Copies of this chain bind each other. A is one copy, B any other.
């Protein structure tokens, strides 16, 4: 059963339940995906309008790229829950003998690396999508300003949410080199995406408030 095939209500209900997955990781990916969808929508509504004719070419490009990012983010949403389940299964492995303990611990560590890779992918995809959404500022159909604003808010929540998931997993990793590499990659993505998202939000607020 793929999360993307649940209804919107079922997804929320499953999150609310005591099932540990899907949790914040898959939710963060979904926010990224919906942020990409809103970016595509705004780009779409900018095309075919006389007033915005000069921006139509750029908007068409943004629309296509945003839709591709949306598909990737929805895909990683499911893979994040799969990665989580690998760790859960590893915790359930037998731990009677020394060999079993070692095998279990190795499986947990490998699983945690998987749970670090998926939110890092989300961070990369959200960063790419924020950059795309930001490229619409000054050249989009302004009747959709609030939609572009919500796109940016979505992508910010997505990247920050994914970051929490990177952090919580690298905290339990014994491979400190891997952990440090992922921490640095995440910090670099945040340093780019968060100020960009905040600038866009501020621009949109000014636009709406007139």
Contact = CB atoms under 8 A, between A and B. Distances in A.
A27 B5 CA distance: 18
A15 B32 CA distance: 13
A209 B172 CA distance: 11
Contact of A9 (B5, B24, B38): B5
Copies in the complex: 2
A45 B9 CA distance: 20
Interface residues of A, number: 59
Which DSSP category, helix, strand, loop or mixed, fits chain A's interface?
helix
Contact of A38 (B4, B24, B171): B24
A90 interface: no
Nearest to A165: B146
Interface of A: 3-9, 11-13, 15-18, 20, 23-25, 27-28, 30-31, 33-34, 36-38, 40-41, 44-45, 66-67, 70, 74, 144-147, 149-151, 153-154, 156-157, 160-161, 164-165, 167-168, 171, 201, 204-205, 208-210
